[in-house]
Amino acid sequence: MQIVVGVAVVRDGLVLAAYRPGPDGGWEFPGGKVEPGETEEQAAVREIREELDLEIKVGASLGPPVGISDRYRLHVYLASIVAGEPVLREHAELRWFAPDELDESEWLVPDRPFVRELLRQL
């Protein structure tokens, strides 16, 4: 089982989301697959640097990993920005969401438990 790490970057009470297009698309947490020899935190830092040109500090897990498929599980962590502004490099769209704008039905299915936990914490 391989882990996909998702990163809930929070700034001033808003969370950064990325849009994944397609028939099964929706909002997701920026991130990606953990590579061999890497910790989940290291993967989170690398992916956010690659995708958004952002330096982050990884915080607490937002709950246990959730199944995506028979090969992958999603694990989402909180993070704060250490340096930079998010740059749109790979995603169709980026958006900062306030808690009252977060509608889990607009998110990829595996992300929804993490969105719920995030709402409890924001």
Ligand X SMILES: Nc1nc2c([nH]c(=O)n2[C@H]2C[C@H](O)[C@@H](COP(=O)(O)OP(=O)(O)OP(=O)(O)O)O2)c(=O)[nH]1
Kindly give, in sequence order, each residue whose CB lies less than 8 Å from that of residue 71, ignoring residues fewer than 6 positions away: 1, 2
Name the token pair of 11: 């700034």
Q: Which residues bind ligand X (CB under 6 A)?
A: 4, 6, 28-29, 31-33, 68, 72, 74, 108, 110-111
Tokens 């438990």 sit on residue: 113
State the nearest-atom distance from the C-beta of 24 to ligand X, in Å: 9
State the nearest-atom distance from the C-beta of 22 to ligand X, in Å: 10
State the nearest-atom distance from the C-beta of 1 to ligand X, in Å: 13
Residue showing the smallest CB distance to ligand X in the complex: 32
Tokens 């929070």 sit on residue: 10
State the nearest-atom distance from the C-beta of 13 to ligand X, in Å: 20
- Give CA angle at 60 (1, 15), nearest 5°: 100
Nearer to ligand X by Cβ, of 28 and 41: the residue is: 28
Nearer to ligand X by Cβ, of 31 and 65: the residue is: 31
Cβ(9)–Cβ(81) under 8 Å? yes
